[in-house]
A and B are shown apart, each in its own frame.
Chain A
Amino acid sequence: MNTVQPHTTGRLHPLTDALRDVMRIFSKMGFEIADGPELETEWYNFSALNVPKNHPARDMQDTFWVAGSQEKLLRTHATSTTIRELEKMAKRGESTRRAINPGKVFRNEATDMTHEAQFYQFDGFAVGPDVSLATLKGTLLQFYKEYLGDGVEVRFRPSFFPFTEPSVEIDLWFAPPGKEGRWLEMMGAGMLHPNVLRNAGLDPETVQAFAFGPGLERVVMMKYGIPDLRYFHNGDIRFNYSVSKI
Chain B
Amino acid sequence: MKVSRSWLQRYFADPLPSVDALADALTFHAFEIESVEGDVLDVKVLPDRAGYALSNRGIAKELSAILSIPMQRDPLREVPVVLANTDQLQVTVDDRFVLRHVAVLVEGVSVGPSPVWLREALESVGQRSINNIVDATNFVMLDMGQPMHAFDADYIRQGAAIAKVDIRKAKSGESVTTLSGDTYQLGDDMYVISNGATGEALDIAGVKGGLHSGVQPTTKNIVLSVGTYDGELVRKTCQRLSVHTDASQRYQNRPSPELGAYGMRAIVTLITEIAGGALRGGVDIYTAPPLQREVSVTAEKVSRVLGAVYTDNDVEAVLTRLDLPFRRDGSMFIVTPPFERTDIVITEDLVEEVGRIIGYDRVIPALLPTGTPTKLPPYFSLIETIRDTAVAAGCIEVSTYAMGSSGDVALQKPLASDKKFLRSSLVEGHTMALETNAAHMPLYNLADLRLFEIGRVWCKGEEVAVLGISYWSPTKDHVKKRDAFFASIAAELSAVTGLVLQGVVEKNTWQVDLPYDPAVASMEAESLPESTLSPFKAFSSYPYALRDIAVWTPEGTDPTVVHALIQRIAGDILVRSDLHDVFTKDGRTSCMFKLVLQAFDRTLTDVELSTTMARITDALNAQTGFSVR
The residues of A with any CB-CB pair to B shorter than 8 Å are 1-4, 6-18, 20-21, 23-24, 26-35, 37-39, 54-57, 60, 64-69, 72, 74, 98, 104, 106, 108, 110-111, 117-118, 126, 128, 130-139, 141-142, 154-160, 162, 165-169, 177, 191, 193-194, 208, 220, 223-227, 232-238, 240-246
Residue in contact with B29 in the complex, picked from A20, A138, A158, CB distance below 8 Å: A158
Top 9 nearest A-B pairs by Cβ distance?
Answer: A30-B371, A134-B307, A132-B307, A27-B525, A7-B394, A166-B352, A235-B433, A156-B360, A10-B391
Cα A145 to Cα B270 in complex, Å, equals 57
Nearest CB of chain B from residue A196's CB, rounded to whole Å: 11
The interface residues of chain A lying within 8 Å CB-to-CB of B414 are: 64
Q: B105-113, B124-132, B138-146, B571-579: which lies at the A interface?
A: B571-579
Residue in contact with A34 in the complex, picked from B305, B371, B377, CB distance below 8 Å: B377
Q: Is the interface of A mostly helix, strand, loop or mixed?
A: mixed
Are the C-beta atoms of B525 and A166 separated by less than 8 Å? no
The interface residues of chain A lying within 8 Å CB-to-CB of B535 are: 177, 224-225, 243
Q: With contacts A137-B366, A165-B346, A235-B433 known, is A39 near B463, CB below 8 A? A: yes
Within 8 A of A (CB), among B353-368: 355-356, 360-361, 363-368
Cα A54 to Cα B433 in complex, Å, equals 40
Cα A106 to Cα B129 in complex, Å, equals 41
User: Would you give 28 A-B contacts (Cβ < 8 Å), ordered by A?
Assistant: A6-B447, A7-B447, A10-B394, A18-B531, A27-B376, A31-B374, A35-B377, A39-B422, A54-B231, A54-B232, A64-B414, A117-B403, A128-B368, A130-B369, A132-B366, A133-B306, A134-B365, A135-B307, A137-B364, A157-B360, A158-B352, A159-B32, A160-B48, A234-B436, A237-B444, A240-B398, A243-B534, A244-B533
Nearest CB of chain A from residue B597's CB, rounded to whole Å: 15
B211 at the interface (CB under 8 A from A): no
Nearest CB of chain A from residue B252's CB, rounded to whole Å: 5
Q: With contacts A10-B395, A27-B526 known, is A156 near B363, CB below 8 A? A: yes
Cα A164 to Cα B31 in complex, Å, equals 16
Cα A233 to Cα B415 in complex, Å, equals 15
Closest to B252 in A: A56
The interface residues of chain A lying within 8 Å CB-to-CB of B559 are: 1
B235 at the interface (CB under 8 A from A): yes
Q: Is the interface of B mostly helix, strand, loop or mixed?
A: mixed
Nearest CB of chain A from residue B206's CB, rounded to whole Å: 14
Q: With contacts A1-B577, A4-B445, A244-B532 known, is A134 near B363, CB below 8 A? A: yes
Query: Contact string, B159-188, partner A, CB cutoff 8 A, digits 1/0?
Result: 000000000000000000000000000000
Closest to B526 in A: A24
Are the C-beta atoms of B440 and A28 separated by less than 8 Å? no
Residue in contact with B402 in the complex, picked from A55, A69, A104, CB distance below 8 Å: A104
Q: With contacts A4-B580, A165-B346, A243-B536 known, is A32 near B360, CB below 8 A? A: no
Nearest CB of chain A from residue B31's CB, rounded to whole Å: 8
Query: Contact string, B259-289, partner A, CB cutoff 8 A, digits 1/0?
Result: 0000000000000000000000000000000
Are the C-beta atoms of A65 and B528 separated by less than 8 Å? no
The interface residues of chain B lying within 8 Å CB-to-CB of A177 are: 535
Are the C-beta atoms of B444 and A241 separated by less than 8 Å? yes
Query: Contact string, B183-212, partner A, CB cutoff 8 A, digits 1/0?
Result: 000000000000000000000000000000
Closest to A5 in B: B445
Are the C-beta atoms of A66 and B409 separated by less than 8 Å? yes
Nearest CB of chain A from residue B445's CB, rounded to whole Å: 6
Are the C-beta atoms of A245 and B534 separated by less than 8 Å? yes
Q: With contacts A13-B398, A24-B528, A110-B415 known, is A6 near B367, CB below 8 A? A: no
Closest to A177 in B: B535
B236 at the interface (CB under 8 A from A): yes
Are the C-beta atoms of A67 and B46 separated by less than 8 Å? no
Q: With contacts A1-B560, A2-B578, A10-B395 known, is A133 near B363, CB below 8 A? A: yes
Are the C-beta atoms of B402 and A118 separated by less than 8 Å? yes
Residue in contact with B27 in the complex, picked from A54, A110, A132, A157, CB distance below 8 Å: A157
Nearest CB of chain B from residue A109's CB, rounded to whole Å: 8
